[in-house]
Chains A and B, each alone.
Chain A
Amino acid sequence: MKKTSQAATYRLKKENDILSNLIRTYAVWFVLLLLVLVMSFVSPAFFTLRNFITVFKNIGPLLLVSIGLTFVFLGGGFDLSQGAVLLLTSTIIVNLNPANYYNFVGSIFLCLAVACLIGLINGFFIGIQRMNPFITTLGMRYILGALIYIATSGAVVSAAIQSHILEALGLKTIFKIPIQTLIVFVILLICWFIVRFTVYSRKIKIVGSSIVVSKFSGLQFGKIQMSTYIVNALLAGIAGILVGSHMTYVIPTLNWNYDFDAITACAVGGISLSGGSGNIMNTLSGVLLIGFINNSMVLLGLQQAWQLVFKGIILLIAIIFDMQIKRTYE
């Protein structure tokens, strides 16, 4: 009798475990689903292919930046310089305004090299020299701000005669799907594969959860952390190219808050800010939530002020909801 009851409780516990895992993993997706359902009834323009394509195109750069930040967070770091990297590469590509294919490839390589260099410097100071990530990237943000100022001399820079290659990257579509979205989707898949299946991601997670453990298990924790910063800066650089080709002008005071938005997206999605846990799908859910919130605000025709208020409230509710679920099922 006793044995069976024990077995029963065990089975119950196991079922409960599966359920809790399910809820814990997909909490933000449920919120997202709820939002989409409610919005489809409220606004007729919401549940259309065109609107969804718009949403996916708009969240592209934020998604790339957030994926980069996910790598850094997994490695136990922190980054405040991505908004500056994004702005710098978009400034470069708009300033160069490549007219033919050779120039185009060259300028993209230049952008990526600059981004890589910034990531390398950040990673060298933080990973190898063990400096505080927060202070280092804050300083880097200020330094890059000055570089952007030198490149733009403080005024709006626009590509006067739009080169058709830049325009193609920014605005062309294949089967109604923008090229930008395709690029972002491919990068998303690659990063998902890396984080889900490779040894490299395990190494990053070990370094992120405990430097001491990684040191005693023979990992070169400094170099691994440095590599996360390089990946991060590279993705921010690509996002900058996409933003630059889409807008075809650069305002040196705009787009600075991409990093704060990315931090919010990662945290809402469920990436641990202290490192070691999370995957790309979490990031995707956070970014999608923010993208759909912004989109539904616009569709409902709210004022800018009310948009900010509701965005704040929804984010706070999502964070608290997520935390509550995690605590009850832990």
Chain B
Amino acid sequence: MNNKRLRNNNLKFKEKNLVLNVFYNFRILILIIVVIALFSFLSKGFFTLKTMNSILSLMSAYGAIAIGQTLVILIGGLDVSVGSIMAVSGLLFLKLIPYSMPLAIFICIFSGVFVGFLNGLIITRFKVNSLISTMGMSFLLSGIAYLISDSTIHIKNNPIIKFGNGVIFFIPYIAIIYVVLTIIIQYILKKTTLGLKIYCVGANRISCDFSGISVRNLELLIFVLSGLFASLGSFLYSIKLAAIGPLTGSDVPIFVITAVLLGGTTIGGGYGDVLKTFSGVFLITLITKGLTLLNVEAYFQNMIIGIILILLLFIGRKLIVKGRLFV
């Protein structure tokens, strides 16, 4: 009986298709290549250095926020307050620039860290669901954003704006910052004990508690990091566009969560990394930029992203159920 089952398992193992598996694991990369080929074919202005340059600088601000969101999703939570953190710290940054540049940068980063710390305290010390408490926090912060300024703040002729729009070898500085951040976090996730702990907490919280990991402090750290990356994203956004308003970050949470999920990180935690998120953000930005060049409305861009999201999940699910993939 036991032997028979073993043999059956072996048979199933042989049926699994290696080519399909490779295709499935590199699905986002393949999609990116297909999308680039398609748009270069459809519009003349797409595959140029200028467009690629603008895509890189467009993706870096929201991408930095997506790094923090990836970490939160890896431990099985959700952070919806990133959008309003972005608005608040960006507004503080642009308000304080006339007085002193270092102070402005410090306050911008510190406000994000502080809000992340508050989020983490509420979630870990009172054992509240992270989605709900960050939603409450986002109401609070969007109110504060209106109190700081009820209209869009602009700045002009500042060296930091030059830095934000500067390029080196056709690569924007802010894109370099984003890539470096991604590499650092990827290294931490894959090569250090901290990363291993993050994956463990996402996979099984209770066993982590019993094996001596301080789950509460780790979660607190992750929410602080999420706040930090939200304010970093806000910093990159404001030095690129030189303008920020109280409503700026309202679509960010949905965008960021979409990018993380499109990359392949699973909600509920334990599987995924920052490189996947990078490819997700890159794919979404490619699609939106390409469709904008073709004069397609924003709603249809979102629809195409939604269809890709559902289709990828559906195909993966089908293949896993049929036993064609190594899981």
Q: A residues near B, CB below 8 A?
A: 125, 129-132, 134-136, 138-143, 145-146, 148-149, 154, 260, 263-264, 267-268, 273, 303-313, 315-316, 319-320, 323-324, 327
Given the complex, which residues of B lie within 8 Å of A138, measured CB to CB? 254, 257-258, 261, 306, 309
With A149-B297, A319-B128 in contact, do A143 and B139 touch (Cβ < 8 Å)? no
Task: Tell me whether B136 and A146 are in contact (CB under 8 A).
Answer: no
Q: Measured between C-beta atoms, what is the minimum distance from B276 to chain A in Å? A: 14
| Further pairs besides A135-B267, A309-B139: 5, Cβ < 8 Å | A149-B299, A304-B143, A308-B140, A316-B122, A319-B128
Task: Tell me whether A308 and B146 are in contact (CB under 8 A).
Answer: yes
Instruction: Indicate if B127 sits at the interface (CB-CB under 8 A).
Output: yes
Given the complex, which residues of B lie within 8 Å of A324, measured CB to CB? 126
User: Interface-forming stretch among B36-44, B62-70, B310-318?
Assistant: B310-318
| Contact indicator per residue, chain B 110-154, by CB within 8 Å of chain A (1) or not (0) | 000000000000100011110111011111111111110010000
Instruction: Indicate if B302 sits at the interface (CB-CB under 8 A).
Output: yes
The 8 Å CB contact of B128, one of A132, A309, A320, is A320
| Pairs A–B under 8 Å by Cβ, sample size 25 | A129-B318, A131-B310, A131-B317, A134-B267, A135-B261, A139-B307, A140-B310, A142-B258, A146-B300, A149-B299, A154-B297, A263-B132, A264-B136, A267-B132, A273-B131, A273-B132, A305-B147, A305-B150, A308-B139, A309-B139, A312-B136, A313-B140, A315-B135, A316-B140, A319-B128
With A132-B267, A142-B305 in contact, do A312 and B139 touch (Cβ < 8 Å)? yes
In the complex, the chain A residue whose C-beta lies closest to that of B254 is A138
Instruction: Indicate if B21 sits at the interface (CB-CB under 8 A).
Output: no
With A131-B313, A132-B266 in contact, do A307 and B143 touch (Cβ < 8 Å)? yes
Task: Tell me whether B257 and A145 are in contact (CB under 8 A).
Answer: no
Instruction: Indicate if B303 sits at the interface (CB-CB under 8 A).
Output: yes
A-B pairs, top 4 by smallest CB distance, nearest first, are A312-B140, A142-B306, A308-B143, A146-B303
With A131-B313, A139-B307, A312-B139 in contact, do A264 and B132 touch (Cβ < 8 Å)? yes
Given the complex, which residues of B lie within 8 Å of A148, measured CB to CB? 299
Q: Measured between C-beta atoms, what is the minimum distance from A146 to chain B in Å? A: 3
Given the complex, which residues of B lie within 8 Å of A323, measured CB to CB? 126-128
Q: Measured between C-beta atoms, what is the minimum distance from B122 to chain A in Å? A: 7
Given the complex of chains A and B, what is the CA–CA distance between A268 and B139 in angstroms? 15
In the complex, the chain A residue whose C-beta lies closest to that of B266 is A132
The 8 Å CB contact of A135, one of B80, B141, B313, is B313
Given the complex of chains A and B, what is the CA–CA distance between A143 and B303 in angstroms? 4
Given the complex, which residues of A lie within 8 Å of B313, measured CB to CB? 131-132, 135-136, 139
Secondary structure class of chain B's binding surface, majority of residues: helix
Given the complex, which residues of A lie within 8 Å of B128, measured CB to CB? 319-320, 323
Between B143, B254, B266, B314, the greatest number of chain A beta carbons within 10 A of the residue's beta carbon is seen for: B143
Given the complex, which residues of A lie within 8 Å of B129, measured CB to CB? 267, 273
Given the complex, which residues of B lie within 8 Å of A125, measured CB to CB? 310, 314
Task: Tell me whether B310 and A136 are in contact (CB under 8 A).
Answer: yes
In the complex, the chain B residue whose C-beta lies closest to that of A129 is B317
Given the complex of chains A and B, what is the CA–CA distance between A134 and B73 in angstroms? 12
In the complex, the chain A residue whose C-beta lies closest to that of B134 is A316
| Contact indicator per residue, chain B 12-34, by CB within 8 Å of chain A (1) or not (0) | 00000000000000000000000
In the complex, the chain A residue whose C-beta lies closest to that of B127 is A323
Task: Tell me whether B310 and A139 are in contact (CB under 8 A).
Answer: yes
Given the complex of chains A and B, what is the CA–CA distance between A312 and B306 in angstroms? 30
Task: Tell me whether B135 and A260 are in contact (CB under 8 A).
Answer: yes
With A264-B136, A305-B146 in contact, do A141 and B306 touch (Cβ < 8 Å)? yes
In the complex, the chain A residue whose C-beta lies closest to that of B147 is A305
In the complex, the chain B residue whose C-beta lies closest to that of A305 is B146
Given the complex of chains A and B, what is the CA–CA distance between A266 and B187 in angstroms? 39
Task: Tell me whether A135 and B132 are in contact (CB under 8 A).
Answer: no
With A263-B135, A267-B129 in contact, do A130 and B140 touch (Cβ < 8 Å)? no
In the complex, the chain B residue whose C-beta lies closest to that of A317 is B136
Q: Measured between C-beta atoms, what is the minimum distance from A265 to chain B in Å? A: 10
With A306-B143, A309-B143, A315-B139 in contact, do A154 and B299 touch (Cβ < 8 Å)? yes
